[in-house]
Every structure is written in C-alpha cells, then in structure tokens.
Chain A
Amino acid sequence: MPIKMIPEIGHFALIVAVLMAVIQTVMPLAGAATRRPLWMAYASPMAMGQFIFVLFAYLCLTASYMLDDFSVVNVANNSNSMLPWYYKFSAVWGNHEGSVLLWSLILAGWGFAVSRCSTGLPRDMVARVLGVMGMVSAGFLLFVLVTSNPFERSLPRVPADGADLNPLLQDFGLIIHPPMLYMGYVGFSVVFAFAIAALLGGRLDSAWTRWVRPWTNVAWAFLTVGIALGSWWAYYELGWGGWWFWDPVENASLLPWLTGTALIHSLAVTEKRGSFKSWTVLLAIFTFSLSLLGTFLVRSGVLTSVHSFANDPSRGLFILVLLGITVGLSLLVFALRAPRVSHVVGFGLVSRDSLLLVNNILLVIMTVTVLLGTLYPLLLDAFGLGKISVGPPYFNALFVPLTVLLCIFMGLGPVARWKRMAGGELRRRLWLAGVVALAIAALAPLVYGGEWNLWVSLGLVAALWVVLPLVRDMTDKVRKAASLWQGVRRQSLAYWGMVLGHLGMAVTIVGVTVVSNYSVEENVRMAPGDSADVAGYTFTMTGLESRRGANFLADTAIMKVEGDDGEHLFVMEPEKRLYLARGMPLTQVALRPGPLRDLYVAMGEELDGDAWAMRLQYKPMVRWLWLGAILMASGGLLAVVDRRYRRRSTVQSGSESSSSAQEATA
C-alpha cells in the first residue's frame, strides 16, 4: 500500500520543501537587516531541510519510474516497461517536469553546499546568501508545483504501458549532459546570491572575491563540461556529424558561459587590484540572469528549436514572472546599492588590468551578438516585420572574428604585469612568439592540406598566439628556480589553472579550425560487396544483418575499413533502428575515434535492392574540441584548490586589511 502512495508522498515532500524555502528566504534576510542572530540562524538548517525534502521528492519520482507506475502521467509519457533500467533512471530528466525538478534539486544542493562550506564567513553574509538562494528556490519549486507537477496521476484510467522515452534520448550522453549543464547553470545562482548579499550588506572587498571565486570556477567548469557533452552528444547521436548548430537551446547555454568567463577574469581584477567592483557584481547578476533567460527560452515556446521541450504558454508566463522578479529586483538593488564612490585604482595602457578590461568588453560583445542573433527573429515578428531566420552563417561570420580578436588579447594578458608595464618589455618578451606563430600558421595548411587556406591559418595563428606567450611565461618563471619541480611548485595552483584553461581554449580552437576546414564527407549508394574511398580509407560493405535489441529492431551494415597502408583493418557497424514503442526510426552511427581523426559512418535510407544510402565522413581532430573543454574545466577546478581560498576568514580579514592598506598606498 505505501508503495502505491509514493507519488503523493513525493508531492507532499515538495510542498514541505517550498515552505522551508520561504522560511529560508524571509527569516535570514529580515534577520540580517535587523541584526537578529536568531533569525539569521534559520538559514543553514532550512537550506539543509529544503535539500533533504527536494531530494526525497526527486527519489519518489525516480522510484515511480523504476517501478513502472504508469498511473503517473509523467512516467506514462516518458517511460516504458521495456526500457533498460538506466534509461528509466535518466528518463526522469528527459522531459519538462522532471528536468525542472532536477533543476530544483541541484539548486537546493548548491544551497546546502554553501551552508556547509561557509563556516568561516560572517554570519550576516551567510544569512543573505542563503536567503537569496532560498528565494530563487521557492520560485522554482512553486513553478514545479503550480505548472509542472511531475506527480500528476491519470487515475482511474491507467495505461497498460508507457509511451517510451524518445529514442534520441536513450543514450549515455543524455544521462550525464543535463545534470552537468544544470550544475553549471544553477551553480551561478551561488555567485548571484553572493553578489546580492554583497550589495545588501555593503561589503565588496578582496575577502568577498576570495569567497566567490571558487564557486564561480566550479560552476563555470560544470557549465563548460555540460556544453561540451551536449556538443558531443549531438555529434554522435544526430547522425550528421555536426557538433554545434547555433540552435537557440545551444545558444542559451553559451550565453552564461560567455559572461561567466568574463566574470572569472573580472573577479581576478577585483581581488588583486580592488577595481571593477560594480562591474564584477553586475556580471555575476547577468550570468545567472542569462541562465534563467535560457530556461525561459527553452521552456516557453517563444523560439523554435530542435530540442526544446513541448511547450505551454502558462509555463512561459510563470518563468517570465520569475525572471522578472529575480532579475528586476537584483538590478534594482544594484542600481540603489552599487558602491557609491568607487575609489579609482590606477593602471597604465599596457597592463594586465587594461587587457582584462578589453577581454571583458569583448566577451560582453560576443554575448550580445549571440543574444541578438537568437532573439532577432522574435523581435522582427513582434514588430510585424516578417519572419526571418538567423542561423549558423550569421553566427559564424561574427563569432569567428570576435574570437580571433579575443585571442590576440589572450596572448598578451598572462604575460603582462598588473598596474603598468613598459610597452617595450612586452614587445621584447613576445616578438619571437609572434613570429613563430605566424610562420607555423602560414605554413601548416600547405603541409597538411596541400594548399593555402586563410581560415586555417587564422585559426592556427590565434591558437598559437594563445599558447606561445604562455610557454614563454612559464619558462621564464620556472627557469629562475633551482629545479624544474621547484619552479613548478613555486607558482600557485591558480596560475597553473589559468595556464590549463588557456591551453584548453587553444586546443578547442585548433579542433574547430581543422574539423571545419578539412572534413571529408561522401554520400554513396552501397550494397554488400561495394566499396568507397574516403580520405585514404577504403570502406567495404561486407554484409547486412538484422538484429533485435532490448526495445528496438535494427538493420546493421557490416563495414570493413582499411587504411592507406593496407594494415589498419577494422570493422564498423552502423545501424538503422526502429524503436518499437514509438515506431520511430533512428540512425545509430558507427564511430572510429582517434586523437587525429574520427571515422564516422551513418546509414541512411534503404534504396532499391540491397543497397543503402551511406554517409561516410572523415573528421580530422574533432576530439580536440572536447579535449579542450575538458582542459578548460580542469583549469577552473585546479584554481579552486589554490591555498589562498582555504584560509580561514579570521586570517583572511587580517591579511585583507594589510593588503588593502598596501593597495591604498600603491
């Protein structure tokens, strides 16, 4: 009997969680405003309680999926008794209701983490941070309860079996992509809450930036991995071999990533130099606001996209109201409470400060460009100016040059000194790197592709110009030490995190450049016995088989692939599947990954006789795209481990006063 009540119990737990979130908002914020320690003390227990109850609700929904309880509408629409158990587990977030619940769970989880890790922080700061997070949480939990209840029953008419999870989502990539992405999106709520807390409490100093930086880096690292996973998933699952489509949903994740990247850099300036304070706070607000905006765009149905959820205007309105309250209030607080007299910290034209300023401005321009392209069709439509589309050609035309421009400054930044530096010194240290970068970039296309290609050269020079100055800087720094290891040890982990992050960016740029320019694609008609040559590989179809999977039937092509030298011999087996529950066909590509190239075979339509349309692709260096993202994320995480973020607050405030004294005299 209790098993049958699981959905109701989950629903009830969710209601309790909302109440706790409301208390978590009201008491600590009021307590901080009126300086009542007892009220402020509500923050941590409520954050914990809310997390436990949302987790419990989430587990109840998962249990309903695992137990095939098709009386729950959500389960009936998105699962099936034939579905393997791990897909039942991930099907929970393969739909709108479940994914908002996951979002709320992660939000509560971040709140709980803040309450655990904030022992060294001033009490009112903790109270305000958790209060703001409680407010966001309350909003999202209400959204779940009011418009998207995943526990809704379809009693008394219970379907015999479920409609199944969309086959496109029955995949390992989809098990991990959304949780990672949400960890990133929602992680920025912590940074956002810290920003609002700083505005409310009037405390925006170096210590504050040291509290915020680790949270920012972790959220950013998750978002980086999440975006990369999405791109990887699209690459192998959609069967076209594309890895980025500039689809509104992809853009929605890119927007907070861009401002988040700007935020990481602006926080560095604020911590080290005490300047750009208002700007840093504004970026923190923007980043989370863009996460919310992305949620709105994906779930409201205002934009047409390949992978948005089935939409409902009432949900859109709810999120818009939520967005309006959260962002509107925070920007109002910003306007009223931003640091009144910013004390002007001086720096020269050639300095790390000025270069990071340029970095921030470029990243913001990139953000605006992506946002503009994403919303422009809607804008024209709203003014009755017709329907247009803005797609990859537009974004590539603007984003690529902006990235190259950004790379120019990325090369200079790490080498430049804070405050000011003689232009001659910078030139002396970097001219060699510049010449080498230009030379390699100009020659590489000739060696690799046989003819000169402007785009390849441009991409390579950008990547090399990011890497080579870093190499120069590292050797300069390490050389001074007694041994290599000592030299490496002497630099902070934050420094090595930066190095890794920038290297990752360069690796991604190389991957993008090469795969965009040197991919080979052949669409051929093949029957057993036929073969085709693509980029030095011979593909021979040796046979066709039919097989049966857990919940699908498949036609499998057996492809024997031989390298140029005749030695590398392997078999690839692309499939055309028919998922039974939905009667939906799906292309399952066969991949032969490698560090320098992927081979990619997709099965198309059945042609006359035994023949099939086959898409054979050679994708050079496509793995570098995601390898770069992993490096970037590792860099972000490495910097978090840096010692200076783990000093206790008493020490922090001590060193804080001395360092700000230094800054004041500096």
Chain B
Amino acid sequence: MKRRLLLLLPLAGFIGLAIFLYMGLSMDPFGRDSALLSEEFPPFELSTLAEPDRRVDESLFEGEVTVVNVWGEWCPTCKQEMPQLLDLADRGIRLIGIDYKDTRDKGREFLDEFGNPFELNIFDPNGDLGFELGVYGAPETFIVDADGVIRYHHTGYIKPEDVRDTILPEVEKWQR
C-alpha cells in the first residue's frame, strides 16, 4: 500500500505542474510593473519643449493628479496613441508629456501635426529622465498622484478602450 502511494507521486507531481502551466497560459510574459510604483517621481531639472529657457522640476506634480506620457517623434505607436490622450485632456485630466530622445524641432512638428493634449512637455533629449523612470521604449504612461508619487504604469500603446477601462478609473481613484 505504501509502495502504491509512492508510485502515485509522479502523477501527483505532474498534475501540479500541469495546473501551474495552465495558469501560465493566461499570463502575459511582457507585462511588468514599474519598479517605481509607490515611489516619488524622481528628481530632475530639464527645460520644456516649448521654451528652452524655462527649467522645470519634480515640483510640477504637486497638487494635482497627472498623467505623464513618454513619447517621441521617432515612435510610430505614439502617433496612434494621440487621439486617446486628446480624449483624456478633453475630460479635464492634466497631462504632462516627456519628449524622449528627440530633437526640439521634430518634437514641435509632432505636436503641430497630431495635436497637443499636454499642459507642458518636458524636453529629455538624452533620455536621462526616461532612464530614471525605468522607461525602456516609448510610449509609456505613468499616473502621478497629487503628492508626486507614481501610482500607475502602462507600457506601450493605450488602446481606446484602455482609456475607459484602466486609465480613467485609476486617475479617479487617486483624485480622491
């Protein structure tokens, strides 16, 4: 009897493995939370895209929930994403852009062509701020609460339904 139970051990082990692999099927190997969740927005000092002489820093995020979008003229997905961002701006949500690894001229052209939902754009030509934020490609989107703490992170394209399903509820959650 004891031996019989021992012989069932491989089967039991395999069933466990199979269940776990089944769970694995529904997981997204690419989706990762940012390491900066619940951390304060990293300190920085950069100029804005519109005004080369105006320096801004992390105090930008005090007082209001802000959606921070990392974009660049070189990034095709960013163009597709603009209507969703304009939609967010229309709903009265404060958006700040980070023009990531771009030139000033190209960045401005981009906004002229695809619209500008941003209150202002931080100009990050070397990607230093992006690096501090752990950005590994554009577009990436963060939600920063009124105390300047990063609360939500979205990698890649924001689909139209993402606005309703994830971005808006997250913003509302932190507005309270």
Contacts and interface: CB of A to CB of B under 8 A. Distances in A.
Interface of A: 278, 282, 285-286, 289, 296, 300-304, 313, 316-317, 320, 323-324, 327-328, 331-332, 334-335, 338, 375, 378-379, 381-382, 386-387
Interface stretch (B13-21, B87-95, B155-163): B13-21
Most chain B beta-carbon neighbours within 10 Å: one of A285, A328, A331: A331
Interface in B1-45: 4, 7-8, 10-11, 14-15, 18, 20-27, 29-30, 32-33
B7 A334 contact: yes
A650 to B, nearest CB: 33
B27 A378 contact: yes
A126 to B, nearest CB: 26
B11 A335 contact: yes
B21 to A, nearest CB: 6
A381 B27 contact: yes
19 contacts: A289-B14, A302-B24, A302-B27, A304-B30, A313-B25, A317-B25, A320-B22, A320-B25, A324-B18, A328-B15, A334-B11, A335-B4, A335-B8, A335-B11, A378-B20, A378-B27, A379-B20, A382-B23, A386-B33
A504 B20 CA distance: 37
The 3 closest A-B pairs by CB, nearest first: A331-B11, A302-B24, A335-B7
Main secondary structure of the interface of B (DSSP, over half): helix
Nearest to B31: A387
Nearest to A286: B10
A327 B16 CA distance: 12
Contacts of A382: 20, 23-24, 27
B171 to A, nearest CB: 24
A139 to B, nearest CB: 15
Contacts of B11: 328, 331-332, 334-335
A378 B32 CA distance: 12
Contacts of A317: 25
B7 A328 contact: no
A291 to B, nearest CB: 14
A241 B15 CA distance: 40
Contact of B25 (A316, A332, A334, A379): A316
B7 A338 contact: yes
A324 B30 CA distance: 26
A65 B32 CA distance: 40
Contact of B24 (A278, A285, A378): A378
A382 B18 CA distance: 13
Contacts of B14: 289, 327-328, 331
Given A320-B18, A323-B18, A328-B15, A334 B10 contact: yes
Contacts of A331: 10-11, 14
Nearest to A379: B20
A316 B18 CA distance: 12
A190 B23 CA distance: 31
Contact of A328 (B18, B24, B25, B30): B18
Contact of B21 (A286, A320, A338): A320
A300 B28 CA distance: 11
A332 B12 CA distance: 10
Most chain A beta-carbon neighbours within 10 Å: one of B11, B21, B22: B21
A623 B14 CA distance: 39
A375 B30 CA distance: 15
Contacts of A286: 10
Most chain B beta-carbon neighbours within 10 Å: one of A289, A323, A381: A381
Nearest to A311: B29
B19 to A, nearest CB: 10
A479 B27 CA distance: 63
Contacts of A328: 11, 14-15, 18
Contacts of A335: 4, 7-8, 10-11
Interface string B72-98: 000000000000000000000000000
Contact of B26 (A303, A313, A386): A313
A327 B7 CA distance: 14
Contacts of A278: 7
Most chain B beta-carbon neighbours within 10 Å: one of A285, A286, A335, A338: A335
Contacts of B8: 335
Contacts of B22: 320
A9 to B, nearest CB: 34
